[in-house]
Amino acid sequence: MGGMMQTRPVAALSFSQKPQQTQTVRMRIDKWLWAARFFKTRSLAQAQIDNGRVRIDDQTVKPSRDVAVGDTVQIHTKDLRITLQVLALSEQRGPAPVAQALYAETEQSKQEREAAKEAGRAQWAAQGAAAERPTKRDRRERDAFEAAPDASAKRQAAPEWNARWSAQAPE
């Protein structure tokens, strides 16, 4: 063969809409969470598992715990708990449609997630203009108000601030 390099045919990787069936019956929970796209990296998945935010069949687990088809996985986030049924296993991370075929979210979990989303929207709407960021002018007026040495000077420094942002009715 001398100086010539031989090439071997390479199988093209293509992701279908179904997860790749593997010969393994079980796999590590951290790897499955990564493949199912719940966490961007396996390290993040391991950290969440170590913090007790992931459970399998209502038991706290370690990152090396095996998950199998049919297991119930609970993932705790800030405000809600996602409950999943494992439908398939995949050794590799694929596109989102493939990852979504690895699990099914329970109806109760979906309802809790939607209720939390609506509560967040209602809270955002209730805050209204008070949640807006102050303008540069507002900040300068506030700084002048806070820098004044006594109360009478503070009232003189920011009469417009009090008029614009007071909760009292106009006179």
Domain residue ranges in the chain: 26-105, 135-163
* pLDDT at res. 153: 57
* pLDDT value of residue 86: 95
CA 17/CA 30 separation, integer angstroms: 23
User: What tokens does 57 get?
Assistant: 């069949």
Residue 134: partners with Cβ closer than 8 Å, 6 or more residues away: 142
What is the reported pLDDT for 146?
Answer: 80
| pTM reported for the whole predicted model | 0.61
pLDDT digits (tens), the chain, 171 positions: 455 545 444 333 345 555 455 456 889 999 999 999 999 999 999 999 999 999 999 999 999 999 999 999 999 988 789 999 999 999 899 999 999 999 999 999 999 989 988 888 887 777 665 557 778 888 888 888 788 776 565 555 555 655 555 555 555
The C-alpha atoms of residue 108 and residue 64 are separated, in whole angstroms, by 28
Residues in the chain: 171
Topology of the domain comprising 26-105: 3.10.290
Helix (H) or strand (E) holding 55: strand 54-56
